[in-house]
Amino acid sequence: MAAESKRQVRMSVGGMHCAVCTSAVEKRLVSLGCTQVGVSLASASAMFTAPDSVSDEKLCAEIEALGFDAKIEIQPNTGNKDNSWELLVFAASAMLTAPLLLGMILSFFLPHDNIVMRVLHDQWFQFALATPVQFLIGWRFYKGAFKSLRAGYAGMDVLVALGTTAAYALSVYNMATGRVRGMEGLHFEASAVVMTLVLLGKLLEGRASSKTGAAVRELLELAPETANLEVDGEITTVQASQLKPGDIVVVRQGERIPSDGVVESGSISADESMLTGESMPVFKDTGDSVIGATVAVSGVARIKIEKVGSDTELSQIVRIVERAQGSKAPVQRLADKIAGIFVPAVLVISVITFLGWYFFAKVGFEQSLLHAVTVMVVSCPCALGLATPAAVTVGIGCGAKNGILFREGEVLERAASVDTVVFDKTGTLTEGKMKVSDLVLTDEMLAYAASTEKLSAHPLALAICEAANGRSLEMFEAEDFSDTGRCVAAVCNGKRVTVSAPEQAKCPENAQDEIRRLESEGKTVVVVTLDGEYQGVIAISDTVRNDAATAIEAIGKLGIKTRMLTGDNERAAQAVAQKLGIDDFSAGVTAAQKPDTLIALKAEGRKTAMIGDGINDAPALAQADVGMAIGSGSAAAVTSAGATVTGLTAAANALVLSRLTMRKIRQNLFWAFIYNSICIPLAAFGVFNPVAAGAAMALSSVSVVSNSLLLKKSFQKAAVKSGKDVN
């Protein structure tokens, strides 16, 4: 039976206030058969994979049944929504509430028979002001509370609706029974002020949260709106969104490349720093690939468009960032569990508070109820729900703008605990552009070696073949090819040829001296034999990456051990390790043995990160706690990794960023727990009144988001510099 086809869905979800809300949305989507569900409170969105049998309308209807606003989106939710309506609602609530609050404040300074006080304390005047705040402006809380309870969960709306209704109803009851004496018996200011402060808190929180989506917003803004399309020699300006594969566009100095493609003619220097983190412009000539949204800093080129829309590299980066921002870090699970029982627990505490004050303190029904209301109002599940996603969203956004793509929040958390970083050598610590530096054999033997190596994709093999081609040597047909990792063999022109590591072949004494000399210079040496007889050696060198030493030094300063894996011999490996300041190395390691090294380190209790770029690194990247693939590497390596980085500096910064992000998460969770642990008991014991409780609740969630936004400045200070400003 064929598997059901699925699609990627991006949905904006309005009205979520806390972890209880996000959990409810996630559970409902999972119940519909959706997978890879990520619900972000910070960006008010959900990303998931949905079965084609469930329509977009069905998905939205199910989420709306929970009490939220749901809408399928084509473009990413950048969090930069228009909040003019929320601002207008708050302004109306504030104007109606101000006289009520003023009356309470002036009662401490003016006599009660003052004309101003008589107006402000008039019960019908207060009733007229508080009623629209409670039921018109506050209707959203009643609606949310009703729908959430009907759906089987209780969120912040329940606490706000219950608390303010109790204060409002008590005031109306006292009016109806003639118990009002001046300000005594009226608590309209409590219900209205709490409602207004909650609206203010949500407004400020929304504005702060919108900044956490700045990374996606800035990435999207990189894409140019127009392109210079060439048709039959004529150039016209068209919308970039209208381009299709095969179109030819002209890009001049200072213009952004409209979409991914290949240079058809001409040449440019492209500034790819905004996407790759590389500070130097990259020269692009005929046949070279170019990335859409990058800038041509010099030159003119005709570019053939190959990818458009969601297939472009920019779109793929945005998707990765969005999904990572919506994913949950394991540390969030504790907060989610607590949030799941938070509201019922607060309601129980409120009841206990009422009973305690009424039966033991004997302060009467009215005062006991106000203390219970204060407990409901001061409680804040929002801060608990925002503590992790706000920091993760900012952290992943910072990474995206600095050449670091975390695939999910869990990778970010695991990276923070890494204590050992394992590097592949060739192509990771070095440029991977290997060239033959020394030939101690005849051209004929080089031709035999190249004929054997042409069936291998190893960088050493490519270097040998390039050397033979450079000398215009005639190749032989190779048969019976084999590759053990340390020795390549084939039958060429009827002769058995091997190209191997020195220890795999019998070498005369004088050859061994030459091999030792070359290896001590950090070069990789291979021995060529013909029908088992020694024929000579080939030395191959590679250039160490410019940022390797800086990155390794920065990683060491984090208290992280470094280790290099290479198929090279001991002397060549030691030369590179000493040059770069690497703590330890393993030489003579084949591709199949790399994962075993990671397994052994993990068995010792090490938290490992593997950094590599080649196809043969993919198993090791998957085996590590955190796999980081160099973005220019093979597709297999990038797919196997939990993070993609543009270079070694970016890899070091990924570790720095992960630690800073986890520090912010711990700070946020500490604040959320401490706030509720202190404020709920204080409210229960009568230290707060409802107005002060409302102010504290509004401040708590805003402070969590604001603290998360400070992560960007912390990262700018701590990041390893590579000639490019850190964003």
In 3D space, the residue among 659, 660, 622, 664 whose CA is nearest the CA of residue 643 turns out to be 622
Q: What is the token pair recorded at 571? A: 């002397």
Write out residues in the chain with pLDDT < 70, as ranges.
1-3, 42, 74-83, 108, 182-183, 205-218, 273-280, 325-328, 339, 614-616, 632-640, 722-727
What's the pLDDT score for residue 615?
55
Q: What is the token pair recorded at 679? A: 């404020």
Q: What is the token pair recorded at 504? A: 């795999």
Angle at Cα 640 formed by Cα 634 and Cα 646, nearest 5°?
55
Give the span between the Cα atoms of 46 and 12, in whole angstroms.
6
Q: What is the token pair recorded at 548? A: 């390797």
Give the span between the Cα atoms of 593 and 484, in whole angstroms.
12
Output the pTM of the full model: 0.73
In 3D space, the residue among 275, 306, 305, 270 whose CA is nearest the CA of residue 285 turns out to be 270
Give the span between the Cα atoms of 121 and 107, in whole angstroms.
9
Please name the amino acid found at residue 214.
A
The three-class DSSP label of residue 235 is strand
Cβ atoms < 10 Å from Cβ of 578: 11
Angle at Cα 83 formed by Cα 80 and Cα 86, nearest 5°?
150
Beta-sheet strands, E only, within 240-294? 248-251, 260-271, 282-284, 289-290
Give the span between the Cα atoms of 570 and 486, in whole angstroms.
14
Q: Contact at 8 Å (CB) between 123 and 97?
A: no
Q: What is the token pair recorded at 379? A: 């409680």
Q: Which CATH number fits domain 6-72: 3.40.50.150, 3.40.50.2020, 3.30.70.100, 3.40.50.1000?
A: 3.30.70.100
Q: Contact at 8 Å (CB) between 615 and 457?
A: yes
Residues forming a β-bridge with 627? 610
Helix (H) or strand (E) holding 713: helix 711-718
Angle at Cα 703 formed by Cα 209 and Cα 22, nearest 5°?
50
Q: What residue segments make up the domains of the chain, in order of their start?
A: 6-72, 228-313, 405-431+545-646, 435-541
Which residue's structure tokens are 């566009």?
249
Residues forming a β-bridge with 530? 497, 533
Give the span between the Cα atoms of 308 and 314, in whole angstroms.
10
List the end-to-end C-alpha distance of the chain, in Å, as a whole number.
Answer: 50
C-alpha of 240 from chain center: 28
Which positions ≥6 away from 254 have C-beta within 8 Å?
A: 295, 296, 297
In 3D space, the residue among 467, 469, 468, 489 whose CA is nearest the CA of residue 480 turns out to be 489
Helix (H) or strand (E) holding 487: strand 487-492
Q: What is the token pair recorded at 692? A: 């002060």
What's the pLDDT score for residue 610?
93
Q: What's the burial of 29, exposed, middle or buried (CB within 10 Å: 0-12/13-18/19+)?
A: buried
Helices (H) and strands (E) counted in the chain, each on its own, are 26, 24
In 3D space, the residue among 142, 145, 164 whose CA is nearest the CA of residue 20 turns out to be 145
Q: Contact at 8 Å (CB) between 461 and 453?
A: yes
Give the DSSP letter of residue 544: B
Q: Contact at 8 Å (CB) between 329 and 410?
A: yes
The three-class DSSP label of residue 378 is helix
Q: Contact at 8 Å (CB) between 160 and 693?
A: no
Burial 380-404 (b: 16+ CB within 10 A, else e): bbbbbbbbbbbbbbbbbbbbbbbbb
Domains 6-72 and 228-313 equal at CATH topology level: no
Is 405-431+545-646 a CATH 3.40.50.1000 domain?
Answer: yes
| CATH architecture classification, 435-541 | 3-Layer(aba) Sandwich (3.40)
The residues annotated as belonging to the active site are 424
Task: Please count the residues of the chain.
Answer: 727
Which positions ≥6 away from 325 have C-beta within 8 Å?
A: 38, 40, 42, 43, 213, 216, 389, 392, 393, 396, 397, 409
The order of strands in the sheet holding 495-500 is: 435-440, 533-541, 524-530, 495-500, 487-492, 478-483
Q: Contact at 8 Å (CB) between 52 and 79?
A: no
Give the span between the Cα atoms of 635 and 614, in whole angstroms.
8
Q: Please, how many CA atoms are within 13 Å of residue 254, restricted to the half-sphere of its CB?
A: 0
What's the pLDDT score for residue 633?
44
Burial 637-667 (b: 16+ CB within 10 A, else e): bbebbbbbbbbbbbbbbbbbbbbbbbebbeb
Q: What Cα–Cα distance (Å) separates residue 461 from each residue in 435, 446, 652? A: 10, 12, 30
What's the pLDDT score for residue 703?
87
Please name the amino acid found at residue 21.
C
Give the span between the Cα atoms of 513 and 515, in whole angstroms.
5
Q: What's the burial of 35, exposed, middle or buried (CB within 10 Å: 0-12/13-18/19+)?
A: exposed
What's the pLDDT score for residue 261?
94
What's the pLDDT score for residue 61?
93
Give the span between the Cα atoms of 159 and 165, in whole angstroms.
10
Is 228-313 a CATH 3.40.190.10 domain?
Answer: no
Which positions ≥6 away from 148 have C-beta within 8 Å?
A: 20, 21, 24, 66, 67, 154, 155, 157, 158
Q: Contact at 8 Å (CB) between 564 and 548?
A: no
Give the span between the Cα atoms of 503 and 4, in whole angstroms.
54
Rg of the chain over all Cα atoms, to the nearest angstrom = 33
Q: Contact at 8 Å (CB) between 285 and 302?
A: no
Q: Contact at 8 Å (CB) between 42 and 22?
A: no
Give the span between the Cα atoms of 670 and 674, in whole angstroms.
6
What's the pLDDT score for residue 638?
52
Q: What is the token pair recorded at 442? A: 């005849």
What's the pLDDT score for residue 634?
44
